[in-house]
Structure 1
Amino acid sequence: MIPTPPDWLAGLISVINGDKVSVSPSTLGDHSGDKWYASHVPDVVVFAESTADVSAVMKYANENRIPVTTRGAGFGYVGGAVPVRGGIVLSTMRMNRILGMHPEDGVAIVQPGVITGDLQAAAHAVGWEYPPDPASLKDCSIGGNIATNAGGPRCLKYGVTRSYVLGLEVVLASGEILRTGGRLHKNKTGFDLIGSFTGSEGMLGIITEATLRIIPKPASRAMLAAIFPEFEMAAAAVQAILNAGHLPSALEITDTFTLAAARKKLGAETFPPGDAHLIVEIDGRPAATLSEIEELHQLLTTLGATFIERAPDEASCERIWKLRREFSFSLRDTGLTKLNEDIVVPRSKLVELVTFARRLEQETGIPIACFGHAGDGNIHTNLMVRDYGDPEIRVHADAALDQLFRWILANDGAITGEHGVGLAKKPWIRQALGETAFATHKVLKNAFDPNGILNPGKFLD
């Protein structure tokens, strides 16, 4: 059935060229959701090509109380880009230019549709680095990264997206254009509006340009990939590495279930026997890297690693990272639906988290796979559910999620470290924030978007 165009379509086309507007059923379907299971078809998709386009659309939408959901590359995992109330999906993917690469100022200026991996490649071409590295960096956009304050394996040493946002151009719900920050690495002028927009999930404004901090590219990197007999020993190694004065660029841990899935997909010989896997990556000057990797090798040996693979250069490091990136695909190949929860716990509670996950697994019958960023406590805790589309099974799985999130919050953790809240974690947001913080979020939302048209239906509704 072909949807009926909204009665406000002609007015929308009058403020933006019609070739940037689509009501094609296939286009509407393609823009109805992200990587989460939920979807809702919008009335119209607008492909903005400039800040002026975004401003015109927002002014018209605000005057006519039309919902607007901004969409980048659509690689979110929590339903953040689902246009719950229909209306307009405003795509920024045609705004995909790197406007300037300025190592002399240590900045890059980009439009929101730039793919993260393309920005990294452009920085590398001038001998510099943009450190944030979400697993989907070859597919996700900078605008989406800012909207969710995306992270990645190298957050331990280099920080999350917010650490690299120096300036923003934002179109507000009214269509007004706000600029905050700029090319300066220090700037304490007024409130931290950049911090308000970073991680706001498209509910406060639409980012149309970002000035991002870049850093000199480390001259070398090296890596160790170690197997331990049990998860507890690998978790203890994480603390021991840091206590010994090392600050790796990445510390990634993997549990038994995930390793078993990877061995099945990639071949049993890919990983030697053992129930836990630990990746330690370092970078810096060549002589320092060579010396530190030797120290770390000796340390892991004394900590009980039964196998250690050394990757002394860029190519061998990438080979190990390629295996690490296969973990999610290996879990998908089990035929189960992977509910990917990017929870965070204090580093000291890694073992307690996995112990709780094993207990929850036994109580519910739902397998749970844990792997991820051990260095900052951001462990992806994946509930592996059979036939999640079955309403009865979904109720059972959601009850298990509720137990997981309640345990996380009771243990000083967070329900999301890098994916955002979106729709997936909406039921727990009041408990996660607390009533006063939730009310403060509402005050900010009402100030920036008094008519409630920006990404409605999400966690503040």
Structure 2
Amino acid sequence: MTSTDLSRHLSSFLPTDQVSTAEDVLDAHASDKWHASALPDVVVFAHTTEDVAKTVAFAHQHGIPVYTRAAGTGHIAGCVPVHGGILISTEPMNEILEISPSDGTAVVQPGVITGELQQAVREHGWYYPPDPASLKECTLGGNVATNAGGPRCLKYGVTKQYILGLTVVLADGQVLKTGGRCHKNSTGFDLTSLMVGSEGMLGIITEITVRLIPHPQTRAMLGASFPDFAAAAAAVQAILDAGTLPSALEITDGFTMNAARDYLGADKLPPGDAYLMIEIDGNTETVARELPTLRDFLLEHQALRIDEAPNEDACERIWQLRRDFSYSLKHTGLTKLNEDIVVPRSKLVALVEFAEQLQQDTGIPVACFGHAGDGNIHTNIMVADYDDPEIKAKADAALDRLFTWVIENDGVISGEHGIGLAKKPWITQALGETSMEVHRQIKQTLDPKNILNPGKFLD
């Protein structure tokens, strides 16, 4: 069926301004933040669950691929329409439908920006903790599709811990309701969790009920530099062994520190080849008491310099440095292949040592920083030009070595981004044959015609 035919059929049951084959619209929906790109045949701008259900039922009847996209902030090409077909944009579905402090819940559409939900519930004194780095632009629908994380998942958990219920359009257009408003639910199989992280391959999420918790009274931070990564990693373990559970615990390696010195100026960075950011939150009196105790503890564990942030504004200055690390790596002029691998915390130093050896062996710079508290270290392969076939081959070989090492050391190849196209070559190695077969059986049951996000890791 041609793009024109698709547009004509879809416009017979959807408003014409919600269906587009315009070149600029197709191009804008062809990719995410990874390098892969493919044009859909038509884009449908969904406003309601009914819009999605009608579109998917039509696609199911005619065997047409369906892809779902909102803000396109993913790093795995999870929403790239590799087989063309219909791309459903849920970006217009951006309403916060309800905030209920009495139930500790909020109900949102999938196009709601994560940071906007956080701000809205905070005005009621409540908290939605998941905080991916792109929270000012990413959507709740994308967060659910990839089970997104963020720095504060150490204390508060990732997206799936906050999803109570979903409305999902299945592959034949039927509408499934999972879970609900209750914070405990042992009724039947946990279909809600099955959908979280399914990357649009089992259904299309059109409504989300999230769990809220009371917002902590205050927060504070310490930014500590260390002579090397090993010392910083030892401090991470010591903090947790001492019975302290920070809300965030971020670590940065020497390569990233040096890139930041080049980008921001040498005087803007503390001495040392590793940096640790520790955030604590809770009652005002408790945080005020814990901060100096934690500072003294870090000085006892080889910290070279400690910057204190006792209030919100000061915390933001330290978090801005964390954001500047990403900009610093971009400033190198290299393309950053951002891999969100996870290793057991005891393997943090081994991971960085492996990354240094990988850099020596391949000549490709490797930068490590991220969520030290749960072992989710973003290991960035820094390449000159990923479109160059020779450079791409070397980079892919380096990635293969990285993922193989991670799997052999009891780690996982994705902690918060998902698999998509980016990690497709390694999925069987990561899951094992039996698990892959179970994944395929679930997919076959829910999507027998394989129209939902085809071409990704289950194909």
1:354 is matched with 352
- In the alignment, the residues of structure 2 paired with residue 431 and residue 283 of structure 1 have an alpha-carbon distance, to the nearest angstrom, of 39
Q: Pick one of 89, 92, 95 that aligns with 2:90.
A: 92
Q: Return the match for 2:216 from 204, 215, 218.
A: 218
| From 271, 274, 278, the counterpart of 1:273 | 271
Residue 59 (structure 2) aligns with = 61
Q: 1-side partners of 2:258 and 2:13: how far apart? A: 55
* Secondary structure of the structure 2 residue equivalent to 1:321: helix
Partner of 2:393: 395
Asked if the contact 2:67–2:88 (Cα under 8 Å) also holds between the matched residues in 1, the reply is: yes
Distance, in Å, in 2 between the alignment partners of 1:115 and 1:254 is 28
The residue identity in structure 2 corresponding to 1:204 is L
Matching residue within 120, 142, 147 for 2:140: 142
Identity among equivalent positions (%) equals 63
Which secondary structure state, in structure 2, belongs to the residue aligned with residue 8 of structure 1? helix
Q: Secondary structure at the match of 1:19?
A: helix
Deviation at 1:4, TM superposition (A): 6.2
- Deviation per CA, 1:47-91, whole angstroms, max 9, x where unpaired? 000001000000000001010000011000010010000001100
- Which residue among 10, 13, 29 is the counterpart of 2:8? 10
Paired residues, what number? 459
1:370 corresponds, among 368, 371, 377, to 368
Pairwise mapping of residues 415-454 of structure 1 onto structure 2 (< 5 A)?
415-454=413-452
Tell me, in whole angstroms, the C-alpha distance in 2 between the residues paired with 1:207 and 1:327. 33
| Aligned with 2:74 (options 56, 73, 76) | 76
| Deviation readout 1:96-117 (Å, 9 max, x if unpaired) | 0000011111001000000000
Residue deviations 1:401-434 (CA, integer Å, cap 9, x gap): 0000000000000000000000000000000000
- 1:6 CA drift (Å): 4.4
Q: Aligned with 1:332: secondary structure?
A: helix
Deviations 1:126-153 (A, max 9, x none): 1111000000000000000000000000
- Superposed displacement of residue 8, structure 1: 3.2
| Equivalent position of 1:231 in the other structure | 229
For 1:388 and 1:146, the matched residues in 2 are separated by 29
2:100 is aligned to 102
| Alignment match, 1:42 | 40
Residue 38 of structure 1 aligns with an amino acid whose one-letter code is A
Q: Which moved more, 1:131-140 or 1:11-20?
A: 11-20
* d(CA) in 1 for partners of 2:68, 2:110: 11
RMSD (Å) for aligned C-alpha atoms: 0.9
Quick check: 2:6–2:42 contact (8 Å CA) kept in 1?
Answer: no
Task: Give the 3-state SS of the residue equivalent to 1:135 in structure 2.
Answer: coil
Alignment pair present for 1:206 and 2:207: no
CA distance in structure 1 between the partners assigned to 2:395 and 2:454 by the alignment: 26
Mapping 1:121-136, distance limit 5 Å:
121-136=119-134
**Aligned equivalent of 2:284:** 286
Separation of aligned partners in 1, 2:318 and 2:269: 11
Match of 2:181 in 1: 183
Q: Which amino acid aligns with 2:98?
A: G
Q: Which runs of 5+ in 2 are unaligned?
A: none
Matched with 1:310 is: 308
Letter of the 1:88 counterpart: I
Pairwise mapping of residues 309-328 of structure 1 onto structure 2 (< 5 A)? 309-328=307-326
Residue type matched to 1:297 in 2?
A: R
Letter in 2 for 1:234: A
Task: Indicate the SS of the match to 1:7.
Answer: helix
Paired position in structure 2 for 1:458: 456
Q: Distance in 2 between matches of 1:104 and 1:327?
A: 40
In the alignment, which residue of structure 1 is the partner of 2:334?
Answer: 336
Q: Which amino acid is the alignment partner of residue 419 of structure 1?
A: H
State the SS of the aligned residue for 2:3: coil
What SS does the corresponding residue of 1:222 show, helix, strand or coil?
Answer: strand
Structure 1: runs of 5 or more not aligned:
none
Letter in 2 for 1:281: E
Letter in 1 for 2:293: E
AA matched with 1:390: D
Which string of whole-angstrom CA distances, capped at 9 and with x for unpartnered residues, describes residues 171-192 of structure 1? 1011100001111000110001
In structure 1, the residue corresponding to 2:111 is in which secondary structure?
coil
Describe the SS at the equivalent of 1:15: coil
Cα distance in 2 for residues equivalent to 1:374 and 1:433: 24
Counterparts of 2:218 and 2:409, CA distance in 1 = 38
Does the CA contact (< 8 Å) of 2:7 and 2:21 recur in 1?
Answer: no
| Residues 326-335 or 134-143, more deviating | 326-335
Going from structure 1 to structure 2, the CA distance change for 1:453 and 1:4 (only over 3 Å counts) comes to closer
For 1:115, the equivalent position in structure 2 comes to 113
Q: Distance in 1 between matches of 2:100 and 2:130?
A: 18
Cα distance between partner residues in 2 of 1:442 and 1:164: 27
Q: Quick one: distance in 2 between partners of 1:183 and 1:326?
A: 39
Q: Deviations over 1:362-393 (max 9, x none)?
A: 00000000000000000000000011110011
Scaled by the length of structure 1, the TM-score of the pair is 0.99
What is the CA–CA distance in structure 2 between the aligned matches of 1:47 and 1:263, rounded to whole Å? Answer: 44
